[in-house]
Every structure is written in structure tokens, then in C-alpha cells.
């Protein structure tokens, strides 16, 4: 047996366990969900379950609501996280040290507990509302609305995203930044021409994680979201457990997968173009 063949077999043997897990945990369930979603009430197969997603007003509202929440959350998370990461990268002092010591705390608080804390804090009868009532101020409705879902998603996603971006920014050589400043480059140009391009790959990774996490979120939308419209994850659970429509729930699940695949495909294409440019 030649050396090349032995290396190929060794490489295949090393990849096979990961591929087997991916096949069992991800690929097969996706295929099963798609096949199930094609089933109709007559025992045949068609696209009626997917047609329902876009013809039923309630389902259309759920899709639009999910996409709106996801877009707003992604924009807010990336803005806040990038600002925090840049501030910690290029500044020093007690405030920076405090941020570095505390911004990871939300990662260690379970989602259910964090959501319950938000209900006690921002609910109509929460302690913040009671404090403002003493001053004659009425707290506007935040919980059981899209605002509550967005706040919860910010709590869940900002720490991890900030950690990723901070890691990317720390990898930018200080010599590059100092050299640009020495030749008179302004702050905006420094960001657009040096900082952002050098951290773009991590930025895209973080955006992908946030998008997929929000669009498939369940705990916060279920506990502090409105009854209508609903996030797709909550809607799928209702269709499956309350209405006992497994095929329709499978269609919602596969449609959610397709939404995530759009950003995933964009990420893979961007990375492929970047690698191609290096050759």
C-alpha cells in the first residue's frame, strides 16, 4: 500500500466520527422533517404545508415577526458588541477593567432564570414599575411584547459576540494601528480600512451565530412574548403539541432551517472567496 493511500485512509478515519455525528444529529433529522412536511391529509405528498405558511395570515405574521425580531436583534447586538470590543481593545483604565470582569456574567446565568429575572424587573408589577410609580411615572409595556424578546436576546447574545470580536481585535498588531496613526489616518478611515477588514471574518462568524440563535430561540419568546404574533420556534411548538399537526410543525422546522441556510450559504461563499483570493 502506497504512502498516499495510507494517508488518505488515515484522514478518512479521522473525519469519519465527526461526519457520523453530523449525519445522525443533523442531516438525517432534516431529511426526515422534510419528508414528513410533504405529507397531506389525504395520505399523499404535496407542498400544501408550505403553501399554508404563506397563505395563512397568522403564519405570515409569525414569519414577518420572527424576521423583524431577528434583524433588529442582530443589528443591535453587533453594534453594542463591536463598540464594547473596540473600547476594550484601544482603552485602559478602571472602566475597561470593570467591563472585562463583568460582561461575561450573563453567559453563566441559565436562560430560564434570566427570563424570569426580566419579568420581575420589567413586568407591569415588577420592582422597576413599583419604584417609578412612587415618582408618578408609569412604566410602558415592555414584557409580553416584542421589546421584551429583543431585550432578552440582547442579554443572551452580547457577551458571546463581544468575546469573539474582542479576540479578533486583540489579534490585530498594534504596529499596524500605530503606523496608520503616524501617517495621519483618521479614526473613521482607520476603522473602515484597517480594523474592520482585519476582523471581518470573525464579524461574519458572530453575525451567523446571532442570527441562527435568535431565529431559533424559544425560551424567551415563549415566556415573555405575546400570544400573537409568535416567533417561529414558539409557533412550531404550539402547532405540534397543542394542535397535534406534526406535518405542519415539520414544515415550520424545515422552513426555519432554510432561513438559517441563507446566511450559512453567504458565510461559506464569503470564506471561499477569501481563500480563493489568497491563492
The span from the CA of 59 to the CA of 57, in Å, is 6
Q: Residue 221 class from Cβ within 10 Å (0-12 exposed, 13-18 middle, 19+ buried)?
A: buried
In-domain check, residue 19: no
Instruction: List, for residues 143-178, the tens digit of each pLDDT value.
Output: 888 999 999 999 999 999 999 999 999 888 888 888
Q: What is the CA radius of gyration of the chain?
A: 23
Instruction: List, for residues 94-129, the tens digit of each pLDDT value.
Output: 999 998 888 888 988 988 999 999 988 888 888 888
In-domain check, residue 100: yes
> What H or E segment, with its residue span, contains residue 183?
none
CATH code of the domain in which 254 resides: 1.10.3720.10
In-domain check, residue 27: no
Sorting pLDDT into bands at 50, 70 and 90, what band is 277?
low
Where in the sequence is the domain holding 229, given as residue range(s)? Answer: 56-278
Neighbours of 19 (CB within 10 A): 11
3-state class (DSSP) for residue 189: helix
In-domain check, residue 6: no
Place of cell 461574519: 204
In-domain check, residue 261: yes
In-domain check, residue 254: yes
In-domain check, residue 28: no
Question: Which cell numbers hold the place of 81?
Answer: 458588541
pTM for the structure as a whole: 0.86
How many domains does the chain divide into? 1
Average pLDDT, the chain: 88
> What H or E segment, with its residue span, contains residue 83?
helix 57-90
The span from the CA of 61 to the CA of 230, in Å, is 8
In-domain check, residue 20: no
Amino acid at each position: 500500500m502506497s504512502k498516499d493511500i495510507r494517508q488518505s485512509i488515515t484522514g478518512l478515519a479521522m473525519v469519519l466520527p465527526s461526519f457520523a455525528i453530523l449525519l445522525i444529529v443533523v442531516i438525517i433529522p432534516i431529511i426526515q422533517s422534510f419528508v414528513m412536511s410533504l405529507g397531506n391529509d389525504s395520505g399523499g405528498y404535496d407542498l400544501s404545508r408550505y403553501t399554508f405558511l404563506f397563505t395563512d395570515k397568522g403564519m405570515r405574521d409569525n414569519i414577518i415577526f420572527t424576521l423583524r425580531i431577528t434583524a433588529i436583534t442582530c443589528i443591535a447586538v453587533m453594534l453594542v458588541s463591536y463598540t464594547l470590543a473596540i473600547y476594550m481593545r484601544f482603552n485602559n483604565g478602571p472602566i475597561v477593567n470593570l467591563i472585562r470582569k463583568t460582561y461575561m456574567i450573563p453567559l453563566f446565568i441559565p436562560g430560564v432564570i434570566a427570563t424570569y429575572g426580566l419579568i420581575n424587573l420589567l413586568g407591569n408589577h415588577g420592582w422597576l414599575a413599583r419604584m417609578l410609580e412612587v415618582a408618578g411615572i408609569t412604566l410602558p409595556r415592555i414584557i409580553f411584547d416584542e421589546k421584551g424578546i429583543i431585550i432578552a436576546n440582547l442579554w443572551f447574545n452580547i457577551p458571546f459576540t463581544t468575546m469573539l470580536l474582542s479576540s479578533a481585535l486583540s489579534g490585530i498588531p498594534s504596529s499596524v494601528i500605530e503606523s496608520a496613526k503616524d501617517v495621519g489616518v483618521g479614526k473613521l478611515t482607520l476603522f473602515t480600512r484597517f480594523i474592520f477588514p482585519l476582523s471581518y471574518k470573525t464579524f461574519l462568524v458572530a453575525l451567523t451565530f446571532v442570527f441562527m440563535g435568535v431565529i431559533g430561540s424559544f425560551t424567551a419568546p415563549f415566556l415573555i412574548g405575546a400570544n400573537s404574533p409568535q416567533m417561529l420556534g414558539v409557533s412550531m411548538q404550539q402547532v405540534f403539541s397543542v394542535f397535534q399537526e406534526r406535518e405542519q410543525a415539520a414544515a415550520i422546522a424545515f422552513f426555519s432551517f432554510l432561513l438559517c441556510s441563507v446566511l450559512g450559504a453567504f458565510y461559506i461563499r464569503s470564506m471561499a472567496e477569501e481563500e480563493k483570493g489568497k491563492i
